[in-house]
A and B are shown apart, each in its own frame.
Chain A
């Protein structure tokens, strides 16, 4: 450091009054932020607006009607609603035990780290495969399997209403099986986070009392992580309800009301995917109504899931 640069005082211009200019970049950022908030409202508003003719025409009867025949202007979505709920519920029933097992496998040290890492990688890979590819795979693998074993099942256990024949390949069960695979990564990731967040002191205390590993898991770790696991189930349900392409390719797209999981069914999202391109007049409006129902259902489920998750995270933080 030489003294010259410091003493170069006279070169500094005469002090002017500092006036902050308006920060245009900040304004741009604000606009982007507000746009994001407005977007959700705009989406819901537009869908409701375009659905209004159908809402005013069919009203509540839309939800309870069991006919969907565009050429007779009859629109009812009860079978589709039931299909949506049933396919997601069955998918959860299959995916929850599997997802929980993987989450435990990843968070416990049963096997060495490299193996666990590769299993984790594989599960993440499942999440990145596009929905249509699941659909294509389902058409060639799951449909024949369900057709073959479904026929055996309905022949043996056909007296149960939900296994009644005839068994179809493109059925509710097929869609649910593939759906379970698709929501597995969601359930696994959130459950795993919940399990890892359990304070190690609880585990140590349990071992110190002489509990075996599984007595610790079932008695201490799972109950502590339960809110997070519940959240993972709810968020998985939200994803399952919105999944479209694989289901549209596999579920058989039938609006007939049946009890059997071996017969074709339909979901809200598959209905939209199949009919929008060719819809005209009031049918577009009716489909918008169905889309609005789907938005309400998924937003409701996802908000509930997020709230449970937030609560779960707070509880575990409190334990430490």
Chain B
């Protein structure tokens, strides 16, 4: 973004002596309006952050991470099972989506960039990013829950994997495209096979940017509720296998937010705080550790 020197520097652009005042007034008014509208949007964001911290902080304690949700009416307990459930389902999703996404990205950038398959993959990945997250849940419900007749962490993980597949694929594609072609040519020039070029040169060079995409996917999957809502459902107990209903932080927030018990609502706020912190930390870590090299 390079705004050239020709753009007026001063605040209300009082340039040009012959400009009629009405035009200058209109100019200044519009500038003020634009800045005001922009700063207006900061209000709801600060409101969200303030509220999440204010309401979520008082309940934070060690037992919140180690205990089970209380039955309605009792004022003790935590959501250890929901935290484990969230990590478990995000893990399943990564296990499924990361290999497929990265391999597909390698195919469309390294092996056959102009082929019909690659064009179709790019198009479909774009379309998949636009598929509502709840549709991933509906699909996992149709394929996994209706076949196994059981709400399960597996179904939730599969739903999340569909959600993050396009993110991983498209960021990995961008990452691989960012590797200078000269590297590939040099590698081939030294007699390396395509496989050696990909594994020794291209993928190592693109790794930080690929990891950025994976971390973004983790942040997104951890926060999504709609795909796990009726695939993993919810559970009051610790998880014993991936084939049983599983709690997650996001489903806990949804379920507890409308309960008439003050303690459960407070737990929903604490879960929000943890979720927002998780998402923000993974976003910040991504920017700190895997900042793109080629810019």
- The chain A residues found within 8 Å of chain B, CB to CB, are 23, 25-26, 28-37, 39-40, 43, 46-47, 49-50, 97-98, 101-102, 104-105, 107-111, 119, 122-123, 125-126, 128-137, 139-141, 181, 184, 196, 200, 203-204, 207, 210, 212-215, 217, 235, 238-239, 241-245, 248-249, 269, 272-273, 276-277, 284, 287-288, 291, 294-295, 298-299, 301-303, 306
B31 touches A110 (CB 8 A): yes
A30 to B141, CA, bound (A): 28
B51 touches A140 (CB 8 A): yes
What is the 8 Å Cβ interface bit string for chain B, positions 268-291, against chain A (1 contact, 0 not)?
110010011001100100000000
A253 to B23, CA, bound (A): 50
A43 touches B162 (CB 8 A): yes
A130 touches B127 (CB 8 A): no
**Among the listed stretches B65-73, B104-112, B180-188, which one makes contact with chain A, having 4 or more residues with CB under 8 Å of it?**
B104-112
**Among the listed stretches B76-84, B205-213, B223-231, B236-244, which one makes contact with chain A, having 4 or more residues with CB under 8 Å of it?**
B223-231
Q: A30-B111, A131-B225 known; 10 other A-B pairs, CB under 8 Å?
A: A25-B195, A36-B125, A108-B7, A110-B35, A129-B276, A129-B279, A133-B253, A212-B13, A273-B229, A276-B230
B9 an interface residue at 8 Å Cβ cutoff?
Answer: yes
A40 touches B128 (CB 8 A): yes
Q: A36-B169, A213-B8 are in contact. Are A269 and B279 (CB under 8 A)?
A: no
Shortest Cβ gap from A227 to chain B (Å): 18
- Which chain B residues numbered 31 to 76 have a C-beta less than 8 Å away from chain A? 31, 33-35, 37-42, 44-45, 47-48, 51-52
Residues in B neighbouring A109, C-beta threshold 8 A: 3, 7, 9
Residues in A neighbouring B16, C-beta threshold 8 A: 210, 212
B26 an interface residue at 8 Å Cβ cutoff?
Answer: yes
Shortest Cβ gap from B123 to chain A (Å): 9
B150 an interface residue at 8 Å Cβ cutoff?
Answer: no
Shortest Cβ gap from B234 to chain A (Å): 9
A25 to B198, CA, bound (A): 10
A32 touches B104 (CB 8 A): yes
B7 touches A203 (CB 8 A): yes
Q: A23-B194, A128-B279 are in contact. Are A36 and B7 (CB under 8 A)?
A: no
Shortest Cβ gap from A145 to chain B (Å): 11
Shortest Cβ gap from A170 to chain B (Å): 10
Residues in B neighbouring A39, C-beta threshold 8 A: 124, 128, 162, 165
B1 an interface residue at 8 Å Cβ cutoff?
Answer: yes
A-B contact pairs, 23 of them (CB 8 A): A25-B195, A25-B198, A26-B107, A30-B107, A35-B104, A36-B124, A36-B128, A101-B38, A105-B38, A108-B34, A128-B280, A129-B223, A130-B276, A132-B275, A133-B253, A141-B51, A200-B4, A212-B16, A215-B23, A243-B132, A244-B133, A273-B226, A273-B229
Residues in B neighbouring A196, C-beta threshold 8 A: 1
Q: A132: which of B33, B47, B132, B225 is its contact (CB, 8 Å)?
A: B225
Shortest Cβ gap from B100 to chain A (Å): 5
Q: B138: which of A204, A215, A241, A291 is its contact (CB, 8 Å)?
A: A291
B26 touches A214 (CB 8 A): yes
A291 touches B135 (CB 8 A): yes
B132 touches A241 (CB 8 A): yes
B90 an interface residue at 8 Å Cβ cutoff?
Answer: no
For the complex of A and B, list the 3 residue pairs with the smallest distance between their C-beta atoms, beginning with the closest.
A242-B132, A130-B223, A302-B130
B124 touches A46 (CB 8 A): no
B135 touches A130 (CB 8 A): no
A217 to B8, CA, bound (A): 13
Q: A102-B37, A141-B51 are in contact. Are A215 and B27 (CB under 8 A)?
A: yes
Q: A23-B195, A37-B121 are in contact. Are A210 and B19 (CB under 8 A)?
A: yes
Residues in B neighbouring A181, C-beta threshold 8 A: 41, 44
A248 to B230, CA, bound (A): 14
A101 touches B250 (CB 8 A): no
Residues in B neighbouring A129, C-beta threshold 8 A: 48, 223, 276, 279
Q: A39-B165, A46-B143, A288-B138 are in contact. Are A245 and B226 (CB under 8 A)?
A: yes
B134 an interface residue at 8 Å Cβ cutoff?
Answer: yes
B142 an interface residue at 8 Å Cβ cutoff?
Answer: yes
Q: A29-B111, A130-B276 are in contact. Are A37 and B124 (CB under 8 A)?
A: yes
- Which chain B residues numbered 147 to 174 have a C-beta less than 8 Å away from chain A? 151, 162, 165, 169
A276 touches B141 (CB 8 A): yes
A128 touches B219 (CB 8 A): yes
A98 touches B40 (CB 8 A): yes
B52 touches A133 (CB 8 A): yes
Shortest Cβ gap from B211 to chain A (Å): 17
B34 touches A110 (CB 8 A): yes
A50 to B37, CA, bound (A): 46
Q: A277: which of B41, B225, B233, B280 is its contact (CB, 8 Å)?
A: B233
Closest A residue by C-beta to B120: A37
Shortest Cβ gap from A275 to chain B (Å): 9
B127 touches A40 (CB 8 A): yes
